[in-house]
Structure 1
Amino acid sequence: MRRLLNTLYIFTEDAYLALDGENVVAKRQGDEIGRIPLHTLEGIHSFSYAGASPALMGACASRGIALSFYDRKGKFLVDASGAVRGNVLLRRAQYGVSADEGRSLPIARNFIMGKIYNSKWVIERACRDHALRVDVSALKGASRKLSESMAAVRYCESLDSLRGIEGDAAAVYFSVFDELILRNDGEFSFKGRVRRPPTDAVNAMLSFFYSILSRDCASALEGVGLDSYIGFLHCDRPGRRSLALDCMEEFRPIFVDRFVLTAINNRVVGPGDFEHRETGEVILSDKGRRLLFESWQARKREIILHPFLKEKVPRGLAPLIQAQLLAKCLRGDLGGYPPFLWK
């Protein structure tokens, strides 16, 4: 099993990243502001507009270090990639399954089964832990509807039908999401999922960390030799990593949603950690991003019991493990793809 290493986040807007020997060096107006050995890193996420040197990009690509660039809002821009890794036979198998709905549907069903199951678990956990502070009746009603959605997933016979079930389940889940926010603070009220652009603090955090999770899943898939652009559920679209979006579905509720809820309910962030723009858009401030990424990185190091392998692993390795299981499924070494069902 691969060891979980650190991820470097660059928030200084005008920081330029360069290579010095075996170190990544951050410079601001020519002055060094920090350096970290490359061998301690598994990823670099830069929110700086200054960019990075070609030498550093090449060093990251050759060492398998994910180097990704974002704008201030957390929108993914581009990443540096080296030579394609992996077995061409595995990718051929992936392309064959993707082109055949009869073969891709069972895998896609398990992605969505995992997502709905984990969404239901988030709701049930709130009922168990905070019964006196939440509307248990509303949450239990949503949980029952999600159970019905899982039953529908098992027997759906087309990808279009599956997408419809997933959309309905997401609407049910987010209809009660505000009940899971325990702070009586108007800044963190949640009226519904708003993506482009997010118009409240909760949506700003959800969108931001969904983007980060997507990059983690893409890196995991490419690390085992799969093509992150060719998916089974999300339609192929130029520039979109459809398989990464497929694979992150089961992780959304338990990795991002619960992380955001914990950050709000435990007062990791406050109203002052967001910027409200004249357009109505809300984004995290530099301070807010730093606070949340400290917590995000600590959470990735937490040890969990993988529900399929029954082994204890760092949380941050879960996308890699699922990517490995997907590769085994495509090779025919597993009878089906086992979704990550959290308990």
Structure 2
Amino acid sequence: MKKLLNSLYITTPNSYLSLDGENLVVLLEDNEKFRLPFVNIENIICFGYMGASPALMGKCADNNISINFLKPNGEYLARIVGKTKGNVLLRKKQYTLSENEEFCLNISKNIIAAKLCNSRMTLERTIRDNFDKIDTSNLKITSNYIANNIDRIYEFNDSDQLRGFEGIIARNYFSVFSDMVLAQKKDFSMIERSKRPPLDFLNCMLSYLYTILSFEVRSALETVGLDPYVGFMHTLRPGRPSLALDLMEELRAYMVDRVVLTMINLKHITKKDFQKKEGGGVLMTDDGRKKILKCWQDRKKEIIMHPYIKEKIEIGLIPYVQAQLLGKYLREELPEYCPFLMR
């Protein structure tokens, strides 16, 4: 099993990344802030503008360490990766199957069904743990609505209709997301999902961590030899990592939504960690980003029993395991793709 290494998050905008032997060095105004051996790094996510030295980028490319550059608000800028690795025959099979409408529809059904199950489990967990503390009637209605529609996923014969149906259920899920907020309800509420820009604190946190998750899924797919840009459920567009977005769907509720709700309900983050822009958008402060990234890293280190492979793994390895299972399915070593289902 792959070892979970560190994701390095550079949150200070004026930081510059450089190379010193086998170490990554972070400089701030030409002064060394800290250094980290390459052997401990899996990927780098940088929220700054100063950049990195060509020597460092070359070293990262040689060691299969991706460097992701984002604006301070989490908006994607660029990504640097090394040579394409993996079995070219696997990628060729992936490209061929991506043109097969029936194949794409069937795997999309499994992914969406898992997404709905995991979203429902998030609702059910709140209901179970707080039925005597809050009004859970709306959560129950939405949970039952999702449960009653999961089997309908397998009745669709058209991918566009399937995606539209999934979007309707997702809107229902997010319409009651605020009901799972038990503390700071006045500050952390939302009417609907908003992305570019996020219009409230909740949407800001969700968008931020969904972006981080997308990088981790992308790296996992590349590690097992798959092309993250050629998917089966999300339509293909230039620059869009469609396969990474496919695999993310089943992981959003378990890996992101739970972290966001836990941080708010335990008051690990407050309204002071955000700022509103004149146009109505919401950004996190530097302290807010540091808090959410710490909770994200802590969450990734938790141990679970993977429901399919029946092995104890760190949560941060779930994208890698699912990428492996997807690769086995494409190679016809598995009869079906087995998405991740919460327990």
TM-score normalized with structure 1 length: 0.98
1:10 paired residue number:
10
2:20 paired residue number:
20
2:159 paired residue number:
159
1:336 paired residue number:
336
2:55 paired residue number:
55
Q: How much does 1:135 deviate?
A: 2.6
Paired positions, count = 343
3-state SS, counterpart of residue 335 of structure 2: coil
| Deviation digits for residues 62-112 of structure 1 (CA, Å, limit 9, x no counterpart) | 111121110011112111111101111101110111111111111111111
Alpha-carbon separation, structure 2, partners of 1:162 and 1:258: 26
Identity %: 47
Q: How much does 1:311 deviate?
A: 0.9
Q: How does 1:132-281 map to 2 (within 5 A)?
A: 132-281=132-281
Alpha-carbon separation, structure 1, partners of 2:155 and 2:306: 26
Q: How much does 1:136 deviate?
A: 2.2
Alpha-carbon separation, structure 1, partners of 2:15 and 2:56: 14
Q: Is the 8 A contact 1:134 1:180 kept in 2?
A: no
3-state SS, counterpart of residue 25 of structure 1: strand
Alpha-carbon separation, structure 1, partners of 2:21 and 2:108: 44
Q: How much does 1:327 deviate?
A: 0.3
Q: How much does 1:134 deviate?
A: 3.1
Alpha-carbon separation, structure 1, partners of 2:147 and 2:134: 20
1:57 alignment partner AA: M
| Deviation digits for residues 12-58 of structure 1 (CA, Å, limit 9, x no counterpart) | 11111011100000112211111111101111110010001111111
2:303 alignment partner AA: I
Alpha-carbon separation, structure 2, partners of 1:53 and 1:149: 52
| Moved segments of 4+, more than 4 Å | none
Q: Is the 8 A contact 1:274 1:282 kept in 2?
A: yes
Q: Kindly indicate whether residue 64 of structure 2 is the aligned counterpart of residue 68 of structure 1.
A: no
| RMSD (Å) for aligned C-alpha atoms | 0.9
Q: How does 1:315-326 map to 2 (within 5 A)?
A: 315-326=315-326
3-state SS, counterpart of residue 246 of structure 2: helix
Alpha-carbon separation, structure 1, partners of 2:165 and 2:20: 51
Q: Is the 8 A contact 2:118 2:250 kept in 1?
A: yes
Alpha-carbon separation, structure 2, partners of 1:155 and 1:74: 38
| Deviation digits for residues 186-236 of structure 1 (CA, Å, limit 9, x no counterpart) | 211221111110111000000000000011100000110000000001110
| Deviation digits for residues 112-154 of structure 1 (CA, Å, limit 9, x no counterpart) | 1111000000011111001123332211111111112211112
Q: Kindly indicate whether residue 291 of structure 2 is the aligned counterpart of residue 294 of structure 1.
A: no
2:30 alignment partner AA: G
Structure 2: 5+ residue runs without aligned partners? none
Q: Kindly indicate whether residue 39 of structure 2 is the aligned counterpart of residue 34 of structure 1.
A: no
